[in-house]
Amino acid sequence: MKNKNTHYEESWRIFRIMSEFVDGFELFENINKAVTVWGSARIPPENIWYKEAVKLGKLLVKNHYAVITGGGPGIMEAANKGAFLAKGTSIGLNIDLPMEQKPNRYITHLILFRYFFVRKVMFVKYAKAFVVFPGGFGTLDEFTEAITLIQTQRMTKFPIILVGKKHWELLIKWMENSLVRSGYIAEKDIKIFSIVETAEDVIKKIKQFYKKD
């Protein structure tokens, strides 16, 4: 049986969750178009993907998009840096982690989240596209959740773009050879996302998708 202190703490947790949603909704109130960029926090500035993410941040601003990242180092920093240098809106949705992920210095709009699931809602709710650079477990989690939401029609389809063909090719082959062949997913589900190699290719994919607008 739970004691009164535990019940009290859980009740207050509800209000903390609500406050994080309110902060997020208020941040995005006046932002009409944004693209979420995901990728490894461990990629250094000399890495080719860091440089490509900087370029992408600049190109997104040039095409009138705000840039959303997790607010940390690596690819997140790179995309924020590109947006910042292009004098655009550079959003960081940072998370409170035991290893203390510090916000990068290229963020113009920052929120610190305590709850992963609230943060994920903000990544998804306001993005016109997801761009996924090479990364680890966190990147895979974000990618697979996004394609699952579209597959299950909990979200309207929009561009999900993987960057770096060599990095992703074995995962895609496994999906085709195991998941599709076993009937766990439909062949059409592989087309929920696309794979490109450069920042320019990302912009082309986004433009192609929204050309009807």
Residue 147 corresponds to which amino acid? I
Q: Distance between CA atoms of 39 and 120, rounded to whole angstroms?
A: 14
List the one residue out of 99, 25, 38 whose CA is nearest residue 68. Answer: 38
Q: What is the pLDDT of residue 193?
A: 97
> What percent of the chain is predicted at pLDDT more than 90?
68
Does residue 29 carry a pLDDT above 90?
no
Residue 188 — pLDDT band, cuts 50, 70, 90?
A: very high
Which of the given ranges, 27-36, 68-77, 117-126, has the highest pLDDT on average? 68-77
Q: Distance between CA atoms of 76 and 107, rounded to whole angstroms?
A: 10
Q: 4-210 adopts what CATH topology?
A: Rossmann fold (3.40.50)
Does residue 1 carry a pLDDT above 60?
no
Q: Is 179 helix (H, G, I), strand (E, B) or coil?
A: helix
Q: What is the DSSP letter of 180?
A: I
Contact 89, 66 (CB under 8 A): yes
Q: Is 94 helix (H, G, I), strand (E, B) or coil?
A: strand
Does residue 6 carry a pLDDT above 90?
no
Contact 171, 135 (CB under 8 A): no
Contacts of 140 (CB under 8 A, 6+ apart): none
Query: Given its phi and psi angles, is residue 153 left (phi above 0), alpha (psi -120 to 50 degrees) or beta?
Result: left
Average confidence (pLDDT) over 42-63: 98
Which sequence spans correspond to the domains of the chain? 4-210
Whose tokens are 């439909």? That residue is 186
Residue 88 — pLDDT band, cuts 50, 70, 90?
A: very high
Q: Distance between CA atoms of 91 and 14, rounded to whole angstroms?
A: 25
DSSP assignment of 126-146 equals T-SEEEE-S--HHHHHHHHHH
Q: What is the pLDDT of residue 2?
A: 52
Q: What is the pLDDT of residue 48?
A: 97
Residue 7 — pLDDT band, cuts 50, 70, 90?
A: low
Residue 98, CA distances (Å) to 50, 102, 114 in order: 25, 11, 11
**Average model confidence (pLDDT) across the chain:** 90
